[in-house]
Amino acid sequence: MTLLDLVLFLPLIGFLALLLVPKDNPQASRMGALIISLGIFVASLGLLAPYWFASPSGLQFATNASWIDYPPIRYHVAVDGLSLWLVLLSTLLTPICVLVSWKHIDHRVKEFFAFLILLEFGLIGVFVALDLFLFFTFWEISLVPMYFLIGIWGHERRIYAAVKFFLYTMVGSMMMLTAIIYLYNKSGTFDYLEILGQIQTGRLTFDPHTQLLLFLAFFLAFAIKVPIFPLHTWLPDAHVEAPTAGSIMLASVMLKMGTYGLVRYCLPLFPDAARASAPWVVGLAICGILYGALVALVQPNMKKLVAYSSVSHLGFVVLGIFSFTQQGLDGAVYQMLNHGVSTGALFMLVGFMYERRHSLEIAAYGGVATPAPKLAIVFLITTLASIGLPTLNNFIGEYLVLQGAAQSNFTWVIFAALGVILSACYMLWLYQRAFYGKASESVTHHMTDLGGREWAAILPLLILMVWMGTFTQTFLPSISAQNARILEQTQPIKAERIVQAAPPGGVSVPVLAAEAQRAR
Amino acid sequence: MLDNFLPTSSEYIRILPEIILTLVGVLIMFLEAVIKDENKKGIFAPLTIAGLVAALIGSLMANGESGPAFQNMLIVDGFATFFRVLVIGVGLLAVLSSIDYLRREDSPGGEFYALILFSLVGQSIMASANELIMIFIGLEISSIASYILAGYLRDDARNNESALKYFLLGSFATAFLLYGVAWIYGATGFTNLTEIRRALLTGSEPAALAGVAAALIFVGFAFKISAVPFQSWAPDVYQGAPAPVSAFLSVGPKAAAFAVLLRVFMTAFGTISSSWVPLVWGVALATMTVGNFAAILQSNIKRLLGYSSIAHAGYVLVAVTANSGNGSAAAMFYLAAYAFTNIGAFAVVAYVSSKGEKYVRVDDFAGLAQRQPGMAAMLSIFLFSLIGVPLTGGFFGKFYIFKAALDAHLVWLTLLGLLNSAVAAYYYLRVLVVMYFKEPGEAAENIPPAGAALQIAVYGSALGILVLGVFPSWLLSFAKMAGLP
């Protein structure tokens, strides 16, 4: 029993505990959820201990125990430089979401907070699982609470959005499940590290065609979740209809499940197929960057605007991942966290505005800076972070991604950089229309300034925006160390290693030929 | 000389569950006739439950004495025990979920329980039959009791329609089966499964004859498991029959039919698998697809579950197509998980439907989560198990089935099957949508608290699903050990 097991299972215990709270006492549910989620966050800070003074590249807090005997499915969890920060992001945002929903959620309060904590369980599990089957289990579990969060507490078209969200993800999951079972039948294990070891030593090889199919099966599941253009259509619906806390968790953490899966599974397991399809994937990523930005530009609805900006931002992450360079990967992972912080903050602020004015239309606002100057300042900082102003977090991530992409292919950078410019356009234009100008009577009447609870929710994110933008040493070394490992696992030079490691008859000739060609 | 034909005592133990079920059934019929009406209240259900528990223990005792019985007519092995325990367990849950229902519909009669018991006798015989004639007898005992059960509320027009349809199509199917038996007898001179296998192995008979016989027998079973293109009776019957009976029919006779299907095709026709595997492949795919796509269009929840049961029969057929030890173990696991799931789901439907089954539209479940959160949560577990969300028995069932299929290199069938289950998610989610996302309607507002027996059935089924979903290995290893090679 390690600290990680505790951090993973506390949410499940918390979920069951919240179910026992009497239904007619909503305040007890709120307090309970806040205490539980803060407790989990504090516990999860302990995971930083090994990373604080050094950046070990290996796995920390590993537990590897048998769960199901046949087929051998293991409870194998651990954190490394990649998953650590995503776990912390989940545990940080859950109490923030509890605060955000404090007043906003006024019916079926107990169930709401119970589902929120259950969601945290699924999310942490996805990031720490090292057994493919366990990973799939958490992947699916995280779907269920989000489905209810959108469906019960969402806006008018919530049912459509919830069902669409569930079905989209389900289709991808089924592809991935097929591939997982196929991998098991070939390798005899679900343990990710063992499968990886077999691939690295050449004991497990696929012909290029099979590898491509397996890659695509995993890729599709992750691409839907990210979402990569043109599989993104569920996202604006889900975001617009979800309650604020749902949007925050969805954008900040759930989308990262997809990019995390790409980095963790798609690249190391199927390096050749991943490299071979990189130009196509990058093409889609750039389409996403530009398309997301252009659509965001013309959105009259604030939440939809932020949702499409997510499509654009996540395009950068995918671009970084498939640049196959150290900087690109570092930037991509850093950008995952940045997006979690700044887009989470944007959704939160839009939620605050909705609570006051009960409208998401930009046209319903204007001149908000006059009655609510503090809200305006906070929104401005978040906007600037989102468009990548230096000294704020997104700048670092986008810069690294672009640098990495430039090493691979400079043309990509030209198009991607357009996305950065466009992001400044749509965000600043939004800010101008909503906050400047003359405040109408109803805006003055409704738009009160930030309250204490709201400050408590937004302040940690503001601090992080500055911290992550100025003091990258806290985060990047551990991320880089892990990315270097992943990059090494995807090296095509492996072909020669296989030749040396395995008897010549053991490896199929076409694979070697293809790999040798690519290595040159 | 005569001693050779007299059964030994261990042979009696091997049919202990059938003996117990028959005796209790007859006893109930007898008591029904001699006890005055005012004294009848509440004695039949406990008696039935006691009989079923005794039969469960009897099955386990029979397993201790495993071996053939009555000149190889029956065989008691792990496979037979698995299905005996399964169908008797199904009977137990069905009885628990019917007690309140029968009281509500003002027809608490002993014969309901007696019919369930007789039907179980037939299914139990099917589970252990090693002889086509015994299979036929078991099937008939089970079916005739089921026909009557489907029309149990005889003043209800839908009940009558359901029973008549079930009877006509069912007897049609039995005729096919008998015809197939006649063919194989003509071709090989045997009706015993092991003997048929041996005869086909030596290969002196024309393969075409055996192939025709296998096809005819398959048609007979396909009716019983509601496989496409013989599925059309299922939704009508499940819609018309009383809800607890639908629960029973959609699981018990089906599991028994799958037991004989697996045994006949993997034992007797195991040697000519190349001629029937492609057929089953096609039927499996068609069954999944038709079941799922038709279910999308349903507005009546009993019909929806009827079509869903067709789709699930398709998944089990995928396991049959794999034609391997893993496949049969996966089918057994799946049927067990499905039994809990479907009985539970129908029990909640029976509970919500209220007197005269007024509320059986999907929309009638609106707001159930706000009025009866416990029942709604349990139905959600059943639906998630039907969808195949991890940590439910239904998920592991699907997982094992498709794993067995991939082992047998059925890549396309696996992929199409899994995509089918994504389609299925849509209509199961619809029920969740109305339950959780809609405001309470007429049905939810007027719902009385659930009775104790129903709660045991529902919570017990949900517990079973979660246990199978979190710790599946014990059942699977038993199924693998007991499964056909």
* Residues in chain A closer than 8 A to B473 (CB atoms): 68-70
Q: Which residues of B touch A70 (CB under 8 A)?
A: 473, 476-477, 480
In a domain, residue B252? The reply is yes
pLDDT above 70 for A520: no
Q: Does residue B437 have a pLDDT over 60?
A: yes
Closest-CA residue of chain A to B407: A185
| Confidence band for A334, pLDDT divided at 50, 70 and 90 | very high
Nearest chain B Cα distance for residue A137, angstroms: 5
Q: Alpha-carbon distance B404 to A50, whole Å?
A: 43
Which residue in chain A has the smallest CA separation from B476? Answer: A70
What is the H or E stretch that residue A64 is in? strand A60-68
Of A497 and A115, the structure prediction assigns the larger pLDDT to A115
Structure tokens that stand for B155 in this block: 């003043």
The verdict on a CB contact (< 8 Å) between A174 and B370 is no
Confidence of residue A493 (pLDDT cuts 50, 70, 90): very low
Average pLDDT over residues A160-180: 87
Each residue's pLDDT tens digit, B46-104? 899 999 999 999 998 888 888 888 888 888 888 899 999 999 999 999 999 888 888 88
Cβ A420 vs Cβ A384: under 8 Å: no
Any domain includes B233 = yes
- At residue A509 the predicted structure's pLDDT band, cuts being 50, 70 and 90, is very low
Q: Report pLDDT for B186.
A: 86
Q: Is the pLDDT of residue B476 over 90?
A: no
Percentage of chain B exceeding pLDDT 90: 34
pLDDT of B422: 83
Q: What is the pLDDT of residue B1?
A: 52
Domain count, chain B: 1
B427: closest chain A residue by CA: A163
Of A163, A174, A182, nearest to B406 by CB-CB distance is: A182
Min distance B113 CA to chain A CA atoms (Å): 38
ipTM of the complex: 0.81
Domain ranges of chain A: 273-489, 490-520
Report whether pLDDT(A496) > 50.
no
Of the partner residues A140, A163, A173, the one whose CB lies closest to the CB of residue B433: A163
The minimum CA-CA distance between B276 and chain A, rounded to whole Å, is 25
Cross-chain residue pair B418–A68, CB shorter than 8 Å: no
Q: What is the pLDDT of residue B4?
A: 66
The pair of structure tokens assigned to B463 is 């517990």
Looking at residue A516, what is its pLDDT? 45
pLDDT, average across residues B229-237: 87
Average pLDDT over residues B211-221: 89
pLDDT at A51 over 90: no
Report the residue from B395, B399, B433 with minimal CB separation from A151.
B433
Cβ contact B406–A140 (<8 Å): no
* B38: Cβ contacts below 8 Å, ≥ 6 apart: none
- pLDDT single digits (tens) A250-263: 888 999 999 999 99
The C-alpha atoms of residue A275 and residue A251 are separated, in whole angstroms, by: 27
What mean pLDDT, rounded, does chain A reach? 86
Higher-pLDDT residue of A281, B357: A281
Sign of the torsion formed by the C-alpha atoms of A402, A408, A412 and A413: positive
Q: Does residue A135 carry a pLDDT above 90?
A: yes
Residue the block writes with tokens 């569920």: A234
Cβ distance A167 to B480 less than 8 Å, yes or no, reads no
Q: Which residues of A fall within a CB distance of 8 Å from B397?
A: none
pLDDT at B485: 65
Least confident piece of the model among A54-63, A454-463, B425-434: A54-63
**Going by C-beta distance under 8 Å and a sequence separation of 6 or more, which residues neighbour residue A394?**
A313, A335, A338, A339, A342, A385, A386, A387, A388, A469
A51 vs B28, residue with greater confidence: B28
Task: Say how far apart CA B86 and CA B253 lie, in whole Å.
Answer: 11
- Contacts of residue B235, defined as CB under 8 A and 6 or more positions apart, other chains included, come to B294, B298, B303, B306, B307, B310
CA B142 to chain centre: 11
Residues in Cβ contact with A206 at an 8 Å cutoff, skipping those fewer than 6 apart: A186, A214, A270, A511
Contact yes or no for B390 and A163 at CB 8 A: no
Q: How many CB atoms lie within 10 A of CB A191?
A: 22
Residues of chain A found within 8 Å of residue B333, distances taken between Cβ atoms? none
How many residues belong to chain B? 485
Mean pLDDT over B114-120 rounds to 93
Q: How far is CA B439 from the centre of its chain?
A: 35
As a whole number, mean pLDDT of residues A77-98 equals 90
Q: How far apart are CA A253 and CA A273, in angstroms?
A: 27
Per-residue pLDDT tens over the stretch B321-361:
988 888 889 999 999 999 999 999 999 998 888 887 788 88
Q: Which amino acid is at B401?
A: I
> Band of the pLDDT at A57, cuts 50, 70, 90?
low
Q: Which domain holds residue B22?
A: 11-482
pLDDT (average), residues B119-131: 92
Least confident residue range of A4-13, B22-31, B443-452: B443-452
In A, which residues are within 8 Å of B430 by CB distance? 163
Count of A-B CB contacts under 8 Å: 80
- Residue A506, pLDDT score: 42
Instruction: Give the CB-side neighbour count of residue B392, counting CA atoms within 13 A.
Output: 25
Interface of B with A (CB under 8 A): 370, 373, 384, 387, 389-391, 395, 399, 402-403, 406-407, 411, 414-415, 418-419, 421-422, 425-426, 429-430, 432-433, 436-437, 471-473, 476-477, 480
Q: How many residues does chain A have?
A: 520
Q: Mutate which of B365, B380, B409, B429 to test chain A, going by most A C-beta atoms within 10 A?
A: B429
Average pLDDT over residues A163-187: 87
**Residue contact A151–B390, C-beta within 8 A:** no
- Minimal-distance CA residue of chain A relative to B414: A178
Does residue B73 lie in a domain region?
yes
- Mean pLDDT of the B159-179 span: 88
Of A148, A167, A178, the CB nearest to B425: A167
Burial of A516 (0-12, 13-18, 19+ CB in 10 A): middle
Whether pLDDT at A396 is above 80:
yes
Suggest the residue from A67, A177, A180 to mutate for an interface test with chain B (most B CBs closer than 10 A): A177
Residues from chain B that touch A140, judged by Cβ atoms under 8 A, are 389-390, 395
**CB distance A140–B414 less than 8 Å?**
no
User: Min CA distance, A182 vs chain B (Å)?
Assistant: 7
Confidence of residue A475 (pLDDT cuts 50, 70, 90): confident
Residue of A nearest to B391 (CA): A137
Cross-chain CB nearest to B418 (options A71, A166, A177)? A177
Chain A CB contacts of B387 below 8 Å = 170
Number of other residues whose CB lies within 10 A of the CB of residue A391: 12
Q: Please give, rounded to a whole number of angstroms, the shortest distance from the CA of A60 to a CA of chain B.
A: 26
Q: What is the pLDDT of residue B259?
A: 92
Residue B3 lies in a domain: no
A-chain residues within 8 Å CB-CB of B404?
Answer: none
Asked if the model's pLDDT at residue B415 lies above 90, the reply is no
Question: A84 to chain B nearest CA, in Å?
Answer: 25
Question: Does the distance separating the beta carbons of B389 and A143 come in below 8 Å?
Answer: yes
Residue A492 confidence (pLDDT): 63
User: Which of B399, B466, B481 to probe the A interface (max A CBs under 10 A)?
Assistant: B399
User: Phi and psi at residue A57, in whole multiples of 5°?
Assistant: -90, -15
The minimum CA-CA distance between B319 and chain A, rounded to whole Å, is 15
Q: Which two tokens stand for residue A281?
A: 């994937």
Do B415 and A148 make contact, defined as CB atoms within 8 angstroms?
Answer: no
pLDDT at B344: 92
Which of B395, B402, B437 faces A159 most closely, judged by CB atoms?
A: B437
Question: What pLDDT score was predicted for residue B343?
Answer: 92
- With beta carbons under 8 A apart, name residues in chain A contacting B407: 185
Closest CA relative to residue A306, chosen from A316, A297, A315? A297
Residue A497 clears pLDDT 70, i.e. is over it: no
Residue B72, burial from CB neighbour count under 10 angstroms (0-12, 13-18, 19+): middle
